[in-house]
């Protein structure tokens, strides 16, 4: 079973990379773009897992323990059915 994990800086945390990309988009003429947040995307192949529930539990544990730093980052897990 596969899981997708999205990691982004928390909304309350300033994102210097997203800010720089936002500025660049304005410079390129995309004047209406109101904001950019940069993050990371992980595709986990969890191998044989009995249920989507267990897959989610495992992926969330991995995200919490290593893929994201809970001090600055939030994560979201999707299970591919």
* Footprint on this chain of other proteins (rule: CB under 8 A): 9, 12-14, 16-17, 20, 66-67, 69, 71-72
Beta carbon of residue 73, minimum distance to other proteins (angstroms, whole number): 8
Closest CA to 60 of 39, 74, 81: 74
For other proteins, the closer of residues 17 and 51 by Cβ is: 17
For other proteins, the closer of residues 52 and 72 by Cβ is: 72
For other proteins, the closer of residues 13 and 52 by Cβ is: 13
Beta carbon of residue 51, minimum distance to other proteins (angstroms, whole number): 27
Residue with tokens 């059915």: 81
Residue with tokens 């529930």: 53
Calpha distance 13→64 (Å, rounded): 18
Specify the 3-state DSSP secondary structure of 64. Answer: helix
Q: By the 8 A CB rule, do 77 and 4 touch? A: yes
Beta carbon of residue 7, minimum distance to other proteins (angstroms, whole number): 9
């Amino acid at each position: 079973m596969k899981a997708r994990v999205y990691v982004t800086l928390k909304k309350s945390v300033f994102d210097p990379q997203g800010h720089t990309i936002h500025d660049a988009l304005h410079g390129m003429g995309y004047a209406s773009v109101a904001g950019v947040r940069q993050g990371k995307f992980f595709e986990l192949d969890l191998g044989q897992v009995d249920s989507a529930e267990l897959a989610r539990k495992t992926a969330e544990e991995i995200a919490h323990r290593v893929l994201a730093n809970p001090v600055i980052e939030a994560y979201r897990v999707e299970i591919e059915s």
